[in-house]
Amino acid sequence: MINGEHLRLRALERSDIPLFVRWFNDPEVTDGLLTYLPLSTSDEERWFDEMLKTPPDQHPLSIEVLEGEKWVLIGNCGYQNIDYRCRLGEIGIVIGEKAYWNKGYGTEAMRLMVRHGFETLNLNRVFLHVYATNQRAIQSYEKVGFVHEGRLRQDMYKNGAYIDVLVMSILRSEWESARAKG
Ligand SMILES: CC(C)(COP(=O)(O)OP(=O)(O)OC[C@H]1O[C@@H](n2cnc3c(N)ncnc32)[C@H](O)[C@@H]1OP(=O)(O)O)[C@@H](O)C(=O)NCCC(=O)NCCS
């Protein structure tokens, strides 16, 4: 368990699949994601089985928020493309429950994941890709301390248009000096 102020990140469970299927069939949620086709429960079950075969440090984590006495599943996040020679990893996140958008949970989950990347996985550079149209995500990543480092022009095609993809990253040195400043 990775514990935050309002959230916890835990290992995915097979019982999470029905919620994932709902989220990844919602066009408002998938607007910011690579997903572009309708997804069945069987698709997601197959994805889950394949995911279990990948290195454990690259398994996504479920994001839960405490409501009263109950932990509510609202999203997931994780690392992929980890390279331990160059000590870098790519991070991704989705808050699938739209009622929980704009409440600071995405930012808190990303802060926890960045700390996990530096303090547990011993990475030096954490990076991500985000669509230039995804202002909510960009604002959240900037708050975590991600720096804009590049723009892949017309790298994605969504909703009948090409969109630019931004590359953002945070280095261990930047994260450490931000922490030292409090
Ligand atoms: C992107 C996502 C992870 C952000 O999580 P979240 O919990 O909604 O975000 P937060 O509340 O932590 O932060 C969002 C910030 O963006 C701001 N924001 C929201 N809409 C905005 C807009 N259209 N333009 C600019 N800023 C915006 C919010 O006000 C907030 O900033 P503030 O706290 O300074 O006011 C979440 O919305 C999500 O999962 N969306 C769908 C999937 C997705 O796009 N994933 C990211 C793929 S790169």
> Which sequence spans correspond to the domains of the chain?
2-181
The best mutation among 107, 111, 140, 167 to test binding of ligand 1, ranked by most ligand atoms within 8 Å of the C-beta, falls on 140
Check pocket membership of 32 for ligand 1, CB cut-off 6 A: yes
**C-alpha neighbours within 13 Å on the C-beta side of residue 171:** 6
CATH number of 2-181: 3.40.630.30
In the predicted structure, residue 182 carries a pLDDT above the cut 90: no
- What pLDDT score does 93 carry? 98
Longest dimension (CA), the chain: 48
Q: For residue range 112-171, what is the model confidence (pLDDT) as tens digits?
A: 999 999 999 999 999 999 999 999 999 999 999 999 999 999 999 999 999 999 999 999
Q: What is the tens place of the pLDDT at every residue in 31-76?
A: 999 999 999 999 999 999 999 999 999 999 999 999 999 999 999 9
Determine if ligand 1 sits within 6 Å of the CB of residue 134.
yes
